[in-house]
Structure 1
Amino acid sequence: MRARAVRAGVVVAVAIALSALVASARGGQRASSTLVFGTEADPTLLDPSLVSDGPSLRATDQIFESLVGFKLGGTAVIPELATSWSVSKNGLAWTFKLRQGVKFSDGTPFNAAAVCFNFTRWFSFPAPLQSDALSYYWVTVFQGFRNPAPGNPGPDKALYKGCKAHGQYSVSILLTRRSSSFLAAIGLPNFGIASPAALKKYQADAGTVDATGVFHPTG
């Protein structure tokens, strides 16, 4: 979203400036306006909740932001789409104050309803998307689905219980049991928040498994 767009813009600007200097040193050849990025493979999908491979996550990390992130070069949790957070005494409710004035790239406002839409979507993945090959990180962190496919854990095993919006800019994630790893886990790029309008418009969870999420990533 906004923060990553700024960082990406700085990188591109520096790269173009350096290209211009090199071109000047070579006798005034025209600098390219295209930044070429080397990677070992193409992304498999552009839906962060359905990938676990490095090339895909490096791409989606430039499109989506999570509620929290990590300090550069370390593991300290820092604000991203959430500006602050607190946890209830029993450890079962994590409440996040959300950044105001943020919009998805399609113009949809970011708010508490958008956060709950994403968490509800992940918890409610249809059977074809519940495989380890796709929703590996949801299964690993939250350990269950609302309507599990045969052999998958259901809501009775899940860490996730629900999501509750408190107005526009405060939201609580409700858990079934304490989790010391919850906060850091939702900082993973797999839990980047997507535009609810785009997810609905392009039927992100419909169609074949191979095509899901490829064509319209909207962070």
Structure 2
Amino acid sequence: MVTLQLKQIRVLAGQRVVLEDINWQEFEAILEELGDRRNTRLAYSKGTLEIMAPLPEHEVSKEMIGDLVKILLEELDMDCECFGSTTFKRQEMQQGIEPDNCFYIQHPERMRGKSRIDLSIDPPPDLAIEIDVTSKTQLDAYQALGVPELWRYEAGSLRIDVLQDNQYVQSETSPTFPNFSITEAVSRFVRQSKSEGRSAALKAFRKWVREKIASLPDS
């Protein structure tokens, strides 16, 4: 049997390493050894650990979609707390995940000022964003931890999954933003950011949001 140290494992950008039969104590030790300042993301589900290193374009899309969500929340006068790629984990469930981005929207005051999340007492984020999700480990972790809404952006398209009866079901609309064609809009404005630049795309998106709000019956 060959034993490798974590520092001997190099994950190249755009690739992932899958480790099997990793117990919870080993998962915690790996988290501690890797630390907070790293370019990798981890997903853990019942003994399977995935270490992923995103490509630069992955990070660009992640930031852009996060900015679009923030504009929506601002224009709708909805408060939020953004926890980025915080590690969410529950030992009794043997699950852990680090989203590309995530938001507490329903009750942000409960999370305000927190530097650590304990899912045995804290709720999971209301909305999580993942770029290029192809991993069952990631989806299993999100599902088990009870994240109500998951946005998955891949190959230029956005998919919305909503948790129903402990299973994710694809949805045409976002429960958080039901009056907006989110899947079409996010895909369109991310594409625009790549051709016209981030600032121009964000300005155009804000204008689109304001026009949609003005056309709502109660506005």
Which structure has more strand as a fraction of its residues?
2
Does the alignment reach a TM-score above 0.5?
no
The structure with the largest alpha-carbon Rg is 1
What range is the shorter-chain TM-score in? under 0.3
Which structure has more helix as a fraction of its residues?
2
Question: Greater RCO between the two (CA within 8 Å, min separation 6)?
Answer: 1
With normalisation by structure 1, the TM-score equals 0.26
